[in-house]
Amino acid sequence: MWHSMSLLRLAQALKWPLQFFLGFSSTSSLFGYGGQVNYCAANAMLDQLAVFGDSGESGGRLPCRVITVNWGPWGEAGMAKVGTKAYEAAVREGDTPLRTATALRCLAAALRLATSPQPSAVQFAACDVQWQKSQWQDLPILDIVHERKKLEAPREASPSKGGKANAADIGLDSMSAIEDWLANYISSSWTRIHKKTLVQLGLDSLEVVQLRNQFNKHFSVNVPLRIVAEPSQKVGDLAMALAPLMG
């Protein structure tokens, strides 16, 4: 963001005849993404600059029109290209990474609209999302993106006395389903992972959030992030904590 402002102010000082200034932002700043607060905030500043201008010393006056595109993942280049963990996670969440040719057509369309004499918008989103599979499915902003049916709120089961579950409260079928799902998600056997933490198994904070999102979708539950994100918690204990939420 500050590099962008420096370039714009330099252009203003040197009287460069700029027609527009283009920022590559992210759908993470438009819709939010757990575990990526710093990334979302940085991209949101680009969005702010396009929509509201510079609120600093220049009083909102910029040397040219600022445009931002909130990109979804790209599948042929960058951090979410085919074969990476980010690519696989995006596909699981219904956020299909864009082909480069498709993304460039989206960019051309955005520039045509934003550089016209009377622009209809200066902020655009370019992504290919199956909204009902995505973690954003309940966001109010989607009411202006596509038609959707209101989903029934998932149930949260009450834990046993003292707020903690025990083996007697949990059905064997639920525990078995959770253990199988966790082992499959982590691509290992239950006996290997159940005494290790997610951190010890190599999952970073973003991957923990993605695990929780996929668990919610698979079992139609609403697991609070704090239950999954406890760094010292062993996977076996995590399964016990998840089971009471199965309903």
Structural contact between residues 70 and 26, judged by C-beta atoms closer than 8 angstroms: yes
| pLDDT above 90 (res 107) | yes
Of 118, 121, 143, 148, which is closest to residue 133 (Cα–Cα)? Answer: 148
Residue 119, token pair as written in the block: 């622009």
Q: Is 142 strand, coil or helix?
A: helix
Residue closest to 120 by CA, chosen among 110, 106, 135: 110
Q: What's this model's pTM, rounded to 2 decimal places?
A: 0.62
d(CA 160, CA 145): 41
pLDDT tens for 192-239 read 999 999 988 888 888 888 888 889 888 888 888 888 888 788 999 999
Give the DSSP H or E segment for 26.
strand 20-26
Alpha carbons 102 and 86: distance in angstroms, whole number: 19
Categorize the per-residue pLDDT at 124 as very low, low, confident or very high, splitting at 50, 70 and 90: very high
Which domains does the chain carry? 7-144 (3.40.50.720), 161-246 (1.10.1200.10)
Tell me what pLDDT residue 152 has. Answer: 42
